[in-house]
């Protein structure tokens, strides 16, 4: 078994998934949103988590889909809130249909995500539903914090890291924990995997912040500097603001105050120049590496799993760390 | 035990319920929305359903709250979709905060509703979660149909009745089924109670349609004729359109086409006059009574419950049928 085998199993299961039929205004957007693609990282983590402990990793297949359906629900509702016109190059649901359809289709996706967990064996059902619910609420908390930060004058780096932990990382952690428990992991081993996943999630989001500025536009698939143009309080910006001298601070605030399309390119250049002076790229890469090393520590600490199977997870994590898009 | 004892138990349990703390933009709207009041009919049905079969009806208390939290979630998201400014005389969440906060708080309410079911005994947990999920999806389907009907030229009476069954009635049916199963009812008895609840729900919604036109403004608490002014395709309007002669049809279509504030009062009078000619009030009351009789048939058919306890449910149903607000 290698990564592509698990990916193929997931693709097949996703293609077979039924969400409902009528009214079609409710269910067509779900199919649309689920078929937009994406890396399917979360359900892959669930399968790899199970595979660490059992050959019968397929026991985790439906629960893995629950995580993916829930993740896509969050994208659908987040896109309404962010008024995002595109997702993976296609019109978002609230644009292709309308915001009401997007709200309601998203609501049903939460219900369908829960349903995909109900075949979990009775001995684990309650515990894993609780953990799923806790994680789901945390993801919503993270999204609320992210929205709050847009209008807050000062956001500290710990606050920012806590926000991305909730919004992004806990679901990756849960995806692994879920698979591990379904595969028969002890609570201790499952917890190490949860922490591995959370670390990878944090590193993954920081990598996203980094690629926005230092990515290659063609590979990254988005316009480089989008976060800078919108003035988003990313790890890069917050670190720069914290480390800047008076002149650099003035430059940052000057450009952050300019929001016309004509100034966008100069804004990206000027702010990136300050980032370069302050070695923000190196500092962000250092933090990513710290999370990655902590993740590997937790992966090593897992007792009851063969090294060869751990290597698959390590490989996936490395891919995520080194990704250019 | 009478109805007020169960209501008091519910009020106390609702007051003790915790949804979360931070960020407060996420949790404050949930507390606000849950404290707006309302009749608490659904959780009351759950408690009465359990009490039919056991003295230990408190086993159904947390699950009853799940139904109430879910119901309030649907109100919260429906109010966004309907752009409703007020709910029970208070500003709706999307007005008091903003639509994004309303979307996200509602999302967390679905999660909290599920959580309130997780203490159900293992032997029933999976079945009742499945039924809750099925019901939840049906409620969303009903809301989507309701929105679709706004822009559809023709809606048939069976289509309308199916919409209110999904949007309103199935949750009342499930509330009773849930309580019954938790109280130890056989699947057969629980199913009769589900059908009792669904019938009551249909009658309840039709009573709502009727009160909009024939209610007393002071008692009803809303402006009489609101549905007529907005041109909502209620049971009354659809029945009138179906039974109208050419002249009456012309009158209805003429007034339905007028949507200025100045014509509102005359519109209500003119359309109500056609309703009167066609005896729409009597016909609606007849259908309400049919559903009520069918409900009583299913209540009678419940085997393993004392008549005195059934009388409580019958009394509540009668209250709902005869309500003036």
Q: What is the pLDDT of residue A217?
A: 67
Q: What is the pLDDT of residue B224?
A: 78
CA-wise closest residue to B63 among B123, B112, B19, B108:
B112
Query: Number of A:B CB contacts under 8 A?
Result: 107
The whole-angstrom separation of Cα A41 and Cα A172 is: 8
Given CA atoms A212, A217, A222, A228 in this order, what sign does their dihedral have?
A: positive
- Look at A125 and B125 and tell me if their CB atoms are within 8 Å: yes
Average pLDDT, chain B: 95
Q: What is the pLDDT of residue A220?
A: 57
- Look at B111 and A147 and tell me if their CB atoms are within 8 Å: no
pLDDT in tens, B215-228: 876 665 566 789 99
- Look at B140 and A115 and tell me if their CB atoms are within 8 Å: no
Residue B136 makes CB contacts below 8 A (sequence gap 6+) with A111, B70, B110
* B chain contacts of residue A135, beta-carbon cutoff 8 Å: none
The whole-angstrom separation of Cα A166 and Cα A174 is: 11
Closest CB to A81: pick one of B100, B133, B143: B100
* A chain contacts of residue B140, beta-carbon cutoff 8 Å: 26, 104, 107-108, 111
* A chain contacts of residue B145, beta-carbon cutoff 8 Å: 23
Alpha helix ranges (H) inside chain B: 3-16, 24-34, 41-51, 61-81, 93-96, 99-115, 122-151, 157-164, 170-183, 187-214, 217-220, 226-230, 235-243, 246-256, 264-277, 280-301, 307-322
Closest CB to B23: pick one of A20, A122, A144: A144
**Minimal Cα–Cα distance from A97 to chain B, Å?**
12
Helix (H) or strand (E) holding A86: strand A86-87
Closest CB to A118: pick one of B80, B107, B126: B126
- Copy the structure tokens of residue B125: 């947990």
Each residue's pLDDT, cut to its tens digit, for chain A (325 residues) gives 899 999 999 999 999 999 999 999 999 999 999 999 888 999 999 999 999 999 999 999 999 999 999 999 999 999 999 999 999 999 999 999 999 999 999 999 999 999 999 999 999 999 999 999 999 999 999 999 999 999 998 999 999 999 999 999 999 999 999 999 999 999 999 999 999 999 999 999 999 999 999 987 666 556 678 999 999 999 999 999 999 999 999 999 999 999 999 999 999 999 999 999 999 999 999 999 999 999 999 999 999 889 999 999 999 999 988 877 6
**Minimal Cα–Cα distance from A265 to chain B, Å?**
30
- Closest residue in A to B114 (Cα–Cα): A133
- Look at B133 and A110 and tell me if their CB atoms are within 8 Å: no
Q: What is the percent of chain B with per-residue pLDDT over 70, rounded to a whole number?
A: 98
Predicted-assembly ipTM surpassing the 0.90 threshold: yes
- Look at A133 and B126 and tell me if their CB atoms are within 8 Å: no
- Look at B126 and A126 and tell me if their CB atoms are within 8 Å: no
- If one counts every other C-beta atom within 10 angstroms of the C-beta of residue A319, the result is 12
**Minimal Cα–Cα distance from B105 to chain A, Å?**
8
Question: Which of A30, A94, A104 is the best substitution to test chain B (most B C-beta atoms within 10 A)?
Answer: A104
* B chain contacts of residue A130, beta-carbon cutoff 8 Å: 115, 118
- Look at A114 and B115 and tell me if their CB atoms are within 8 Å: no
Res B325 pLDDT > 80: no
C-beta of residue B313 within 8 angstroms of C-beta of residue B48: yes
**Minimal Cα–Cα distance from A101 to chain B, Å?**
8
Res B324 pLDDT > 70: yes
Q: Which position has the token pair 């799940």?
A: B66
pLDDT in tens, B269-318: 999 999 999 999 999 999 999 999 999 999 999 998 899 999 999 999 99
* A chain contacts of residue B118, beta-carbon cutoff 8 Å: 126, 129-130, 133
CA distances from A232 to A147, A238, A246, A285, B245 (A): 10, 10, 21, 19, 63
Q: What is the pLDDT of residue A223?
A: 67
Domains and CATH numbers, chain A: 3-322 (1.10.600.10)
* B chain contacts of residue A136, beta-carbon cutoff 8 Å: 111
């Amino acid at each position: 078994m290698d990564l592509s085998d698990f990916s193929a199993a997931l693709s097949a299961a996703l293609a077979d998934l039924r969400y409902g039929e009528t009214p079609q205004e409710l269910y067509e957007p779900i199919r649309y949103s689920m078929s937009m693609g994406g890396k399917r990282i979360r359900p892959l983590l669930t399968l790899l988590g199970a595979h660490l402990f059992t050959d019968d990793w397929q026991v985790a297949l439906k629960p893995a889909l629950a995580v993916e359906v829930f993740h896509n629900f969050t994208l659908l509702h987040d896109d309404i809130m962010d008024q995002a016109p595109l997702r993976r190059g296609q019109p978002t649901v609230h644009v292709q249909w309308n915001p009401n359809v997007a709200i309601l289709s998203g609501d049903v996706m939460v219900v369908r995500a829960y349903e995909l967990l109900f075949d979990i064996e009775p001995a684990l059902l309650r515990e894993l539903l609780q953990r799923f619910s806790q994680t789901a609420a945390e993801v919503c908390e993270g999204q609320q914090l992210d929205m709050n930060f847009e209008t807050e004058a000062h956001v500290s780096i710990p606050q920012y890291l806590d926000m991305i932990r909730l919004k992004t990382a806990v679901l990756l952690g849960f995806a692994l924990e879920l698979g591990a428990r379904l595969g028969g992991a002890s609570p201790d081993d499952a917890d190490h995997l949860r922490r591995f996943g959370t670390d990878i999630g944090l590193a993954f989001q920081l990598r996203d912040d980094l690629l926005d500025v230092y990515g290659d536009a063609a590979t990254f698939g988005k316009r480089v500097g989008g976060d800078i143009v919108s003035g988003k309080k990313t790890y890069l910006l917050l670190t720069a603001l914290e480390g800047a001298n008076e002149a650099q601070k003035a430059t940052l605030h000057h450009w952050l105050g300019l929001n016309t399309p004509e100034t966008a390119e100069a804004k990206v250049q000027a702010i990136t120049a300050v980032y370069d002076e302050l070695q923000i790229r190196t500092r962000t890469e250092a933090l990513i590496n710290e999370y990655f090393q902590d993740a590997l520590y937790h992966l090593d600490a897992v007792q009851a799993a063969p090294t060869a199977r751990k290597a698959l997870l390590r490989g996936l994590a490395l891919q995520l760390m080194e990704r250019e898009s």
